[in-house]
Amino acid sequence: MIKDLVKANRSVRGYDHSYKVKEEDLIDLVDCARLTASSINKQPLKYYIADSEEDVAVLRSSTRLGALLPNRKLPDKGKEPTAYIVILQDKKISESYFAFGNDVGIAAQTITLAATEKGLSACMIGNINEERIQLALNLPDRYRIRLVIAIGKSAEEIHLVEIDNGENTAYYRDENDVHYVPKRKLNDIIINKEV
C-alpha cells in the first residue's frame, strides 16, 4: 500500500481549477504532519493553510513551478492550484534550522502522501518569494517560511521512467504535454547487493 502511494505521489504542476479542496482535508493533512517524528522532539514547525481566494492569489503569484521546463510558465492558465499549505519554522521554539531541516522534509512528504491517499495531488515548492509571502500573509517575524506545498486535484498525466546510469534525471514533457519523471534503477542505487 505505501509503495503504491509513493508511486502515485507525483509533483503535480497542473490542477483542475474547478475543484475546491475542502478545509477539513487541509486540516487533516496538517494533522498527519503533526504526528510525525521531529528532531529531539522540538516540534518547531507551524503551518499556514491558504484556501481563501486572497491567500491563494498571493501564493500563486509568489511561487514558480517547473524550473526544469524554462520555456514554460507553469502552471498553465486555468490549471493553478486551489489551495496551499505553507510550512513555517517557529523561531521562538528554535532558531536553529540545521537540526530541523529534516523535519520539513518529513512533514512535507507526509502531507503529500496523505493528500494522495485522499485522491488529491500536491507539489512541494521551494522556488518562492519568501519576503512577499511573509508580508502578504501578515506572518509575524517569529515565523520563517521553509516550504510551500500546492494542493489540488490533478489535471495532468505523469509517468515514471526508469533510466540507465549516466542518463539525464531532468523531468520533461512530450508534445501531448504528458509529464515524464526519470528514476534511477534499483540496481544502480544499492551499492552492495545485486537486486
pLDDT digits (tens, 9 = 90+) for 53-84: 999 999 999 999 998 998 888 999 999 999 99
Per the CB < 8 A criterion, the answer to whether 157 and 171 are in contact is no
Dist. CA 78–CA 150, nearest whole Å: 15
Dist. CA 182–CA 195, nearest whole Å: 19
Do 87 and 163 sit in the same domain of this protein?
Answer: no
Percent of the chain surpassing pLDDT 70: 98
* pLDDT-based confidence at residue 4 (cuts at 50, 70, 90): very high
Do 118 and 39 sit in the same domain of this protein?
Answer: yes
Do 167 and 117 sit in the same domain of this protein?
Answer: no
Do 9 and 70 sit in the same domain of this protein?
Answer: yes
What is residue 70's predicted lDDT score, i.e. its pLDDT? 84
Do 95 and 187 sit in the same domain of this protein?
Answer: no
Do 93 and 168 sit in the same domain of this protein?
Answer: no
Do 115 and 38 sit in the same domain of this protein?
Answer: yes
Domain holding 161: CATH number? Answer: 2.20.180.10
Do 143 and 76 sit in the same domain of this protein?
Answer: yes
In the chain, what are the helix, strand and coil shares in percent, each to the nearest 5? 30, 25, 45
Do 117 and 51 sit in the same domain of this protein?
Answer: yes
Q: What is the pTM assigned to this prediction?
A: 0.94
Domain holding 132: CATH number? Answer: 3.40.109.10
Do 130 and 173 sit in the same domain of this protein?
Answer: no
Q: Can you state the angle between helices 23-34 and 101-117, rounded to 10 degrees? A: 140
* pLDDT-based confidence at residue 101 (cuts at 50, 70, 90): confident
Q: List the beta bridge partners of residue 154.
A: 15
Do 36 and 108 sit in the same domain of this protein?
Answer: yes
pLDDT in tens, 130-179: 999 999 999 999 999 999 999 999 999 999 999 999 999 999 999 999 99
Strands of 172-173's sheet in order across: 158-163, 179-184, 172-173
Strands of 83-90's sheet in order across: 45-50, 83-90, 143-152, 121-125
Number of domains observed in the structure of the chain: 2
Mean pLDDT of the chain: 95
* Residue 44 reports pLDDT greater than 90: yes
What is residue 99's predicted lDDT score, i.e. its pLDDT? 64
Do 165 and 85 sit in the same domain of this protein?
Answer: no
Q: Of 98 and 91, which is predicted with more confidence?
A: 91
Residue 195 lies in domain:
157-195
